[in-house]
Amino acid sequence: MRGKAGRGAGCIVRAQSALVALMALLAAAPALAQAIPAPPRHPNIVILLADDWGFSDVGSFGSEIATPNIDALAAAGMRFSNFHVAGSCSPTRAMLQSGVMNHRAGLGNMPETIPDEHRGKPGYDTVMNLRVVTIAQLLKAAGYRTYLTGKWHLGSDAKRLPGARGYDRAFSLADAGADNFEQRPIEGMYDTAAWTENGKPAMLPKDYYSSRFVVQKMIDYIEEDRASGKPFLASVNFLANHIPVQAPDSDIARYSAMYREGWTKLREARAKRAVALGIMPAGTTMVTMKTTPDWAKLDAEERAAAIRVMQAYGAMATAMDREVGRLVAHLKATGDYDNTIFVFLSDNGAEPTNPYNRLRNRLFLGMEYDTSTANIGRRGSFSAIGPGWASAASSPLSGYKFSAAEGGLRAPLIIAWPGHPQVRAGAINGGLAHVTDILPTLLDLAGVPGQDGTWDGRPVERLAGRSLVPMLGGGAGSVHGDAPIGYELSGNAALFRGDYKLVRNLAPTGDGNWRLYDIKTDPGETRDLAAAMPDRFAAMRADYATFAKDNGVLDMPAGYTADEQINRYAWQKQGKKRAIQAGLVLGGIVIGLAALVWAWRRRRRSRA
């Protein structure tokens, strides 16, 4: 009996000890829960896509334009000084959205610049085709909310608007550009300003200004779905600084004392700043493009108009930068900033097109807009910086939008993840990077799987880009190594391989001959190495031929230029309207001249 009692007492003691231990564990549970790290939350992603900004249009890349908020992202992240896109907007946007080369994505050319002979050919859909998977589709499948505001320009039918390509909400413009102050198209190019919200025609507010609106709409989307607790993809696609160049009066006034020395002086000043910042190598030399007018030969009226339009251009960029700052401030206030990856880039180099370089254009635009010098950049204006200022915006590079020169293809890129060790803050990376790299980079940083050649049970185009994460961490060189990267648009073509670039430009920026440059030491493309390196030149010509065959690149018709094709497109699109209006103007001129002749003859008869 005593033994059983002893064993019973021992069991009670052990039970009491276990109970005490359990209570101690329960008491310590909150501390243990805090010690165990929570599963990582996918980062938010914000893409800030500028339109037609030249390589040195950002302050942290050498500009005199005030861009403090974009510069703050540069300080918090990494600047890429050797990043390449396409020579015009839609091909770049297709590659950014899909990670696939532009011909394979359907944008071998844009609807506004494609010659009739190429329409409907494989790779020349002029819209982003359904064989590619977008970043929105991939992130949405991983549990992201997906939003897009601003310019889309990748298709306007129900299957190709943003809502059909993975975006939960989208307020988008299907055209290349539109007015920045009202719901008005680029007159002569389009019948209407094709804005839609979630696939349905949409109206802009009365107080609309493009940069302010696309940011506010994005903030609204983010907040309306905040209760879901999901991370978000926010693709903000600005109209700034696409034609028409327009900005608030207060921003234009800020630049009232600037740009009076002309584009050549500005080009030189920006080149010096880019070298001082470490964006360009010391000793970088420049060429003067043959399409750049001589500032000294302009008359007083021409200079006044040129100065005013560049003041409006700087103002438009500053107005956009202010909205970037407003979005960043909002994300800081909501606690999202530290877990948000920011990507800032431009879709191509600066726009050189001068819409007033033909008499018929001047007559038409003069009837549609207030083209006075005092109104340049304001509501009701239609302004463009032209090749002179575009050469400065691309400084110290050669060429600009549409060309395959570095000024057309090399764009500013900033990637920031504030406070996160995977992105080296304040650094500059000079390794070769490409727009198709953005999608795999963001998927890599977010821990989201990509597509492997199939999606939703069907074959799709494989990714062409590579993750830039090794470069973001400070790795030297390029993730592409010595692998060739080809490019073609409107007959202007290039092939990148390591530090070297093979390039061909058609008129008006080139002569159709292939050239070879070391773009690491000579980013201005001033020293052709084709004769000095015949083996490399021949090997890269062969690499380009392979690229062209694999991507279905077509030769351009004789005499083709993008500028001529844009004008042909506009006059075909709006030919009747323009012809009537131009006829009225010319008729008025004829009547006026006839009246003057009649009055002159009458005076002569009266004197006789």
Which of 89, 242, 420, 480 is catalytic? The answer is 89
Q: Which of 79, 58, 89, 74 is nearest to 320 (CA)?
A: 58
**Cα–Cα dist 314/598, whole Å:** 50
**Cα–Cα dist 295/494, whole Å:** 31
Amino acid at 481: G
Alpha-helical regions (H) of 36-67: none
Question: What is the token pair recorded at 146?
Answer: 């997906």
Q: Which of 66, 323, 330, 365 is nearest to 213 (CA)?
A: 323
Q: Is the dihedral of CA 93, 95, 99, 103 positive or negative?
A: positive
DSSP annotation of 228:
G
Write b or e for each residue in 428-450: b if 16 or more Cβ atoms lie within 10 A of its Cβ, otherwise e.
Answer: bbbbbbbbbbbbbbbbbbbebeb
Could you give the 3-state DSSP secondary structure of residue 212?
A: helix
**Cα–Cα dist 555/548, whole Å:** 10
**Cα–Cα dist 383/556, whole Å:** 30
**Cα–Cα dist 79/430, whole Å:** 9
**Cα–Cα dist 109/107, whole Å:** 5
- Whether 42 is catalytic: no
DSSP string, 500-534: EEEEE--TTT--S-EEEEETTT-TT-----TTT-H
Which of 103, 118, 153, 242 is catalytic? The answer is 153
- Whether 153 is catalytic: yes
Catalytic machinery residues: 89, 153
